[in-house]
Chain A
Amino acid sequence: MSLRIPGYLGTFWELLGDHLVMALGASLLGLVLALPLGLACVRWPRVYAPVLAACSVLYSIPSLAFFVLLIAFTGISRTTVILPLAVYALAGLVPNVVDGLRAVPDSVRQSAVAMGFSTPRRLLTVDLPLAIPAVIAGLRVATVANISMVSVGALIGMGAFGALFTASVQLDRLDLAIIGIIATVVMALVVDAVLVLVQRLSTPWMRRTSKVSR
């Protein structure tokens, strides 16, 4: 495959690697932040509304504005792209984590308590696994969004496939924009499929009991 990508941008595979690292890094960071936040919101229901409001305010910050303001702190680096995307992911992940945890049947929870599980152990080994489908549903949406948003980083010089778009305008080369769009969409589809697979593998009990997919 000979893609005529201008040399100064790096090879296609370098861009692809960059793109994956930033998008998945943001999703992972978002997940790592959303799980304790979600657990806290279930444990103390009163904090849920303020947390949700804070998430939607943060979500509304335009990515370009977020990037340029972060440059002052983290410079022009992958971190500058990853942090805002992770924060955006929270807006979708936190409600899903909370809904997933709340949907755990009371009988299951009581069984765990009756078996002598401490609260932290119950949360981690009973509630959280049962919430996996909801959590992954949120993660899928966030990850697809991240993959398409990384490109905006090109405006501050950190866009991976987004660099193809900037070059496309500058060099007036349509093929670069098309390559970039197709690569991004294919990556989103593949990663989404992988997440579906992860969900199936991590929740074997779902396959036997339910035919309804979420």
Chain B
Amino acid sequence: MTTLLHYLAEYFGDAANWSGASGIPTRLAQHFGYTLLAFVISVLLALPIGLWTGHTGRGGVLVSLTANAARALPTYGLLVLLVVLYGIGLVPVMVPLVALAIPPILLNSYEGIRGVDPALTDAARGMGMTSSQILLRAQLPVALPLILVGLRTAAVQIVATATIAAAVSFGGVGRPIVDGLARSDYALVVGGAALAGICSLVILALFAVLGQVLVSPGVRASRD
């Protein structure tokens, strides 16, 4: 434990680690860059499908099959496969991260919308709402807590797994870990691991705030 603290002090105390192409700010920027891009792509792909299948109630089997299949794919293997096929580039990093993020978003949005009380949907229809109004104005707000959990899981998985991209010479906070392991420079390893942990906690905190801001107070109260 004391050695870990010693390494942490060594890494974060070294001024050279705070600037330049391999500095902490650059690594964090790269890491959040990968994360944000992968997250946006996954949401655009999975959320509409999850919402729509949940709304119509059709395609549920297909949703869970896709989600399960994607979950079984080894992220590291997929990354390596794409790198060997296409060389180093943005696509080989994005595909595994997106594949990882799709199942929680898809499943939670599908289950969330489907789990909305049918009486509520009927009431909305009775008020003359169109199908898309029912989905967006009645079902979505009620299902939002569950959907946010799915989005949070996806984001956490992306930010955690983006670390592995360093194994095939990408940047991000995995870089110091992989370089440190290769050079037996454990201050670098421990420092990188700490950065990776911090990134994840930032994402968790972000979603805690989002949950407070986005979820309607009425829905929040009825859940407690």
Contact = CB atoms under 8 A, between A and B. Distances in A.
Contact of A59 (B71, B156, B161, B164): B156
A154 B181 CA distance: 12
A51 interface: no
Contacts of B80: 165-166, 168-169, 177, 180
Interface of A: 56-57, 59-66, 68-69, 72, 141, 144-145, 147-149, 151-152, 154-156, 159, 161-162, 164-166, 168-169, 172-174, 177-178, 180-181, 184-185, 188-189, 192
B4, B74, B181: residue with the most chain A Cβ atoms closer than 10 Å: B74
B163 interface: yes
11 contacts: A60-B156, A60-B160, A62-B200, A63-B164, A64-B193, A68-B193, A141-B71, A165-B74, A178-B81, A181-B77, A192-B72
Nearest to A173: B84
Contacts of B74: 147-149, 151, 161-162, 165, 180-181, 184-185
Contacts of A148: 71-75
A27 B83 CA distance: 30
B84 A169 contact: yes
B76 interface: yes
Contact of B201 (A57, A154, A177): A57
Nearest to B76: A151
A52 to B, nearest CB: 11
A163 B161 CA distance: 17
B77 A68 contact: no
B215 interface: no
A162 B167 CA distance: 12
A66, A145, A169, A174: residue with the most chain B Cβ atoms closer than 10 Å: A169
Which 3 residue pairs across A and B have the least CB separation, nearest first?
A: A65-B193, A188-B72, A62-B160
Given A57-B201, A69-B4, 17 more contacts: A62-B174, A64-B177, A65-B192, A66-B193, A68-B192, A144-B71, A148-B75, A154-B76, A156-B181, A165-B81, A168-B80, A174-B85, A177-B80, A181-B73, A181-B81, A184-B72, A184-B77
Nearest to B80: A165
Contact of B177 (A60, A68, A141): A68
B46 interface: no
Contacts of A145: 71
Nearest to A164: B77
A38 B167 CA distance: 37
Interface string B154-165: 001001110110
Contacts of A169: 80, 83-84, 167-168
Given A56-B204, A174-B85, A181 B78 contact: yes
Contact of B72 (A61, A64, A189): A189
B180 to A, nearest CB: 8
